[in-house]
Amino acid sequence: MAPRRHQPPEPATTRKQLLAAAAAVFAERGFRDSTVREICHRAGANIAAISYHFGDKSALYSAVLRETAPAPAGGPHATPTPGFDRLPPAQRVAHFIREFIARIAESGPDCHHSRIMAREMIEPTQALDHLVNSFIRPQHQWFQGLVREMLGTGFSDEEIRLVANSVVSQILFYRHCGAVIERLQGRDPLEQSNLEVLGAHITEFSLGAIRSLARSRSRSRSIPGPTRKSAKRPS
């Protein structure tokens, strides 16, 4: 009986292995210091496999950013939640905050996306432009629309953006400054046992601020200004 020949892995399997290996290497070393040789070695693939499946290291890096990103907490690319769009805007904001915190708190050997993104914040690459335009911008525009629903009329586009940024930045603070917070408080702020408390706090703080802004702007619009008849003439 003739010995069985070793069958090469299917192209889809090789591609998946390259993505996993590249995510680990990019998270450890960053884009500039990573080599295709090390990625292929970890993936158990021929060095020509990157050219075949992705084109070059830059294209592989873009694919890693795109395909290892966690599912968004809201917006056009989020997993549909039955009845979500019919909820009051405050409940949708609360849901978004809880889901966002759950996404950034994911950990483990395969959760490399947040570490890669942390490096991107310091040394952006061209891949970040594509990720922002195709993934992050639609999500953020959706959330700005949700904030506008709560605030009502009388707020400029810039004011809406600032409020949305303030909500999101509270969440991202615990990811990007987690090492400092852990040393200040003696525990990881994103450990699973703390997520419910953290989510409740950010939700209460954010909704309170948004409602306060809406009331303040509404009161300022309702106060009549001086009329011609009531205005004093200069003496």
Domain harbouring 24, CATH code: 1.10.10.60
Number of domains in the chain: 2
Print the SS3 string covering the chain: CCCCCCCCCCHHHHHHHHHHHHHHHHHHHHHHHCCHHHHHHHHCCCCHHHHHHCCCHHHHHHHHHHHCCCCCCCCCCCCCCCCHHHCCHHHHHHHHHHHHHHHHCCCCCCCCHHHHHHHHHHCCCHHHHHHHHHHHHHHHHHHHHHHHHHHCCCCCHHHHHHHHHHHHHHHHHHHHCHHHHHHHHCCCCCCHHHHHHHHHHHHHHHHHHHHHHHHHHHHHHHCCCCCCCCCCCCC
Asked if residue 143 is part of any domain, the answer here is yes
Asked if residue 227 is part of any domain, the answer here is no
Higher pLDDT, 74 or 232: 74
Q: What is the pLDDT of residue 228?
A: 45
pLDDT digits (tens, 9 = 90+) for 45-96: 998 999 999 999 999 999 998 888 877 777 887 877 888 888 999 999 999 9
Is there a single domain that holds both residue 43 and residue 98? no
Asked if residue 169 is part of any domain, the answer here is yes
Is there a single domain that holds both residue 143 and residue 201? yes
pLDDT digits (tens, 9 = 90+) for 4-34: 554 555 678 899 999 999 999 999 999 999 9
Asked if residue 129 is part of any domain, the answer here is yes
Asked if residue 232 is part of any domain, the answer here is no
